[in-house]
C-alpha cells in the first residue's frame, strides 16, 4: 500500500472517528437527558442498555431505517425531506458568498490596492448583522411570502451575507489573492506578458475550497435560524421542532447528519489537496508535507 493511499486512509479515518465519537457524545446526552423517552422505552420494553441502544441506532443509520419519530413518521423519511430543502440553501449560499467575494475583489482590487473604501466598509457593515435580524427585516419590511421561490431566494441571500459570513469569506479571499499576487511566479508571468488569470484561478481553487469548508459549520447553524424565521421546513426547522417536542431520536439523527456534513466538507478539501497540490507529498516516513 502506497504512502499516498495511507494518507487518504488517515483522512477518511479521521472523518469516521469524528462522526463516530460525536454520535457517542450526542447519544449519551439523549440517553441521560431528564425523562429521556429513549432510555425509558429501551429499558422497559427492549431491556437494552445505552450501548445496546446506540448499536441499534448505528445499525439503523447504516441500513437507513431509524424507526419512527415522535410523530410516527419514519426518521429517515423526515431526514430526506429536510435535506432536499436545506442542502440547496447551504450550497447556493456558499456559492453566492464565495462568488460575490471573488467578484468584489476582482472589481475593487485587494486591500492594499483598493480605491473603494466605502464599498468595503458597507460590505463589512451589512455582514455584521445577524442572520435572524436579516430574516426579521425581510419579513417585516419586505413581507416575504410564506412559501415559494422568494422565500428560498431570501434565505440564500441572507445566509450568504449574515453572521459575518460575507466579511469572513471576503477577507479570506482578499488575503489569498494579495499573497498570490506577491508571489515570484506571478511577477515573472507578468513581466513575460503571460496572462495571469488562469494561473491565479488554478492556485486559488484550493484555498477557496478550504475557506468554504471552514465556514460550513456556521452556515449549518445559520440554516437552523433562517429556516425557523422564514418557516422553511428543512433540516434546521425540523431540528428545532424536534428539540422543542423532545423528539430525541430525530434530534440525534439530525445532529449526526449535520456533523457528518461539516466533517465531510473538510474531508473533501483534504482529499482534493492530497490529489492536486504537489506541495502535499508524502515523505519517506509517510508524514504529510506541505
* Residues contributing to the site for another protein (CB under 8 A): 14, 17-18, 21-22, 26, 29-30, 33-35, 125, 128-133, 136-137, 139-143, 163-164, 217-218, 220-222, 224-225, 228-229, 239-240, 243-244, 246, 248, 251, 254-255, 258-259, 262-263, 266
Instruction: Please state the closest distance from residue 251 (CB atom) to another protein, in A.
Output: 6
CB of 184 to another protein, least distance (A): 24
**Residue with smaller CB distance to another protein, 82 or 239:** 239
Pick the closer one to another protein by CB: 21 or 107.
21
Closest among 265, 248, 268, 259 to 23, alpha carbons compared: 259
Nearest residue (CB) to another protein, 92 versus 129: 129
CB of 191 to another protein, least distance (A): 31
In the complex, minimum distance from the CB of residue 69 to another protein, in angstroms, rounded to a whole number: 15
The nearest distance, CB 255 to another protein, in angstroms, is 6
**Is residue 75 a contact partner of residue 69, using CB atoms and an 8 Å limit?**
yes
Q: Quick check: 158 and 131 in contact, CB under 8 A?
A: yes
Q: How far is CA 243 from CA 53, 57, 70, 209, in A?
A: 20, 18, 11, 32
d(CA 287, CA 280): 10
Choose between 200 and 210: whose C-beta lies nearer to another protein: 210
Residue 217: CB minimum distance to another protein, A: 4
Query: Is 193 buried (19+), middle (13-18) or exposed (0-12) by CB count in 10 A?
Result: exposed
Backbone angles phi, psi at 68, to 5 degrees: -80, 150
Residues 49/25/238/215 CA torsion (nearest 10 deg): -160
In the complex, what is the shortest distance from the CB of residue 114 to another protein, in angstroms, rounded to a whole number? 16
Nearer to another protein, 151 or 259 (CB): 259
Check residue 82 and give left, alpha or beta (phi > 0: left; psi -120 to 50: alpha).
Answer: alpha
| Least Å from the CB of residue 50 to another protein | 15
What is the 8-class DSSP label of residue 42?
Answer: I
145-157 burial, b for 16+ CB within 10 Å, e for fewer?
A: eeeeeebbebbbb
- CB nearer another protein, residue 129 or residue 186: 129
**Which lies closer to another protein via its Cβ, residue 18 or residue 271?**
18
3-class SS at 246?
coil
For residue 79, give the nearest of 245, 216, 251 by alpha carbon: 251
Residues contacting 24, CB < 8 A, separation 6+: 54
Q: Give the residue with the Cβ less far from another protein, 121 or 188.
A: 121
Amino acid at each position: 500500500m502506497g504512502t499516498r493511499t495511507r494518507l487518504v486512509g488517515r483522512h477518511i479515518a479521521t472523518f469516521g472517528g469524528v462522526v463516530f465519537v460525536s454520535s457517542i457524545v450526542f447519544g449519551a446526552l439523549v440517553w441521560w437527558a431528564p425523562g429521556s423517552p429513549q432510555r425509558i422505552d429501551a429499558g422497559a420494553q427492549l431491556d437494552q442498555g445505552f450501548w445496546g441502544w446506540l448499536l441499534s441506532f448505528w445499525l439503523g443509520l447504516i441500513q437507513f431505517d431509524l424507526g419512527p419519530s415522535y410523530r410516527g413518521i419514519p426518521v429517515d423519511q423526515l431526514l430526506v425531506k429536510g435535506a432536499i430543502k436545506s442542502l440547496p440553501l447551504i450550497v447556493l449560499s456558499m456559492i453566492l458568498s464565495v462568488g460575490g467575494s471573488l467578484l468584489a475583489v476582482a472589481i475593487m482590487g485587494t486591500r492594499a490596492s483598493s480605491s473603494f473604501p466605502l464599498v468595503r466598509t458597507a460590505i463589512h457593515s451589512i455582514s455584521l448583522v445577524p442572520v435572524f435580524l436579516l430574516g426579521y427585516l425581510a419579513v417585516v419590511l419586505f413581507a416575504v411570502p410564506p412559501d415559494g421561490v422568494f422565500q428560498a431566494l431570501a434565505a440564500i441571500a441572507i445566509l450568504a451575507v449574515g453572521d459575518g459570513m460575507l466579511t469572513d469569506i471576503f477577507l479570506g479571499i482578499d488575503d489569498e489573492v494579495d499573497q498570490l499576487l506577491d508571489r515570484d511566479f506571478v511577477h515573472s508571468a507578468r513581466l513575460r506578458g503571460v496572462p495571469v488569470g488562469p494561473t491565479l484561478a488554478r492556485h486559488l481553487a484550493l484555498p477557496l475550497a478550504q475557506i468554504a469548508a471552514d465556514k460550513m459549520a456556521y452556515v449549518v447553524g445559520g440554516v437552523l435560524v433562517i429556516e425557523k424565521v422564514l418557516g422553511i421546513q428543512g433540516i434546521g426547522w425540523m431540528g428545532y421542532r424536534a428539540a422543542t417536542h423532545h423528539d430525541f431520536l430525530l434530534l440525534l439523527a439530525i445532529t449526526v447528519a449535520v456533523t457528518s456534513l461539516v466533517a465531510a466538507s473538510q474531508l473533501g478539501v483534504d482529499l482534493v489537496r492530497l490529489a492536486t497540490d504537489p506541495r502535499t507529498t508524502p515523505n519517506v516516513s509517510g508524514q504529510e508535507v506541505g
